[in-house]
């Protein structure tokens, strides 16, 4: 089995949904993840990564986040 050695980390100190989208509070990173691994239970709430194991570290969510609140972690 192949394990991904890159995954996204959300920095909850920087993530403020109603600052990056004052109108809807919707997380643009959630929409950017084609694997649907990021979820936001309600607009205005911080997103969560559903599975580190399935995240491929593609960085689409990083690029979509207006507040630089997501980064890619690399394992060994
Ligand atoms: S790095 Fe890619 S696969 Fe992982 S959560 Fe972000 S957009 Fe999805
Ligand atoms: S786009 Fe970034 S700052 Fe905005 S809610 Fe999503 S993770 Fe948080």
* Domains in the chain, number: 1
**Is residue 1 domain-resident?**
no
The bound ligand whose nearest atom lies closest to the alpha carbon of 47 is 2
Residue 47 is part of a domain; what is its CATH number? 3.30.70.20
Residue 76 predicted with pLDDT over 80: no
Q: Whose CA is nearest to atom 6 of ligand 1?
A: 61
Handedness of CA 20, 23, 25, 28 (dihedral sign): negative
Rounded percentage of the chain residues whose pLDDT exceeds 90: 91
- Calculate how far, in angstroms, residue 53's C-alpha sits from the geometric centre of ligand 2: 21
Residue 47 predicted with pLDDT over 90: yes
| Alpha carbons 17 and 15: distance in angstroms, whole number | 6
Q: Is the CB of 28 under 6 A from ligand 2?
A: yes
Q: How many CA atoms lie within 13 A of 65 on its CB side?
A: 25
Q: Is the CB of 40 under 6 A from ligand 2?
A: no
What is the pTM for the complete model shown? 0.93
Q: What is the pLDDT of residues 53-62, one digit of tens each?
A: 999 999 999 9
Domain residue limits at 29: 6-74
Averaged pLDDT, 39-55:
96
């Amino acid at each position: 089995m192949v394990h991904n050695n890159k995954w996204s980390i959300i920095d909850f100190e920087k993530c403020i949904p109603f600052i990056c989208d004052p109108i809807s509070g919707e997380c643009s990173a959630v929409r950017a993840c084609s694997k649907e691994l990021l979820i936001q239970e309600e607009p205005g709430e911080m997103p969560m990564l559903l599975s580190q194991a399935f995240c491929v570290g593609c960085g689409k969510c990083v690029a979509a986040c207006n507040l630089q609140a997501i980064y890619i972690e690399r394992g060994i």
